[in-house]
Amino acid sequence: MSDADFPSLASEILCTVEFYVAGAMIPIGQTPWRNQRAGYIGGGVVKGERLHGEVLPGGGNWGLAGKLANGDAVSTFDARTVWKTHDGALIYVTHGGRMHVPTDAAADFADPEKGIALDKSRYYARIVPLFETSDERYQWLNALVTVACGKRIKGGIRYTVFAIG
What digits encode the pLDDT tens for the residues 121-161? 999 999 999 999 999 999 999 999 999 999 999 999 999 99
70 has pLDDT over 80: yes
pTM for this entry: 0.91
The count of structural domains within the chain is 1
Query: 44: closest CA among 10, 16, 2?
Result: 16
Reported as a single tens digit per residue, the pLDDT across 2-14 is 777 788 889 999 9
The pLDDT tens digits for 13-56 are 999 999 998 887 888 988 888 888 899 999 999 999 999 999 99
Q: Residue 92: which CATH number?
A: 2.40.160.20
Please say whether the beta carbons of 46 and 53 come within 8 A. Answer: yes
Q: How far apart are CA 22 and CA 24, in angstroms?
A: 7
Range of the domain at 119: 3-164
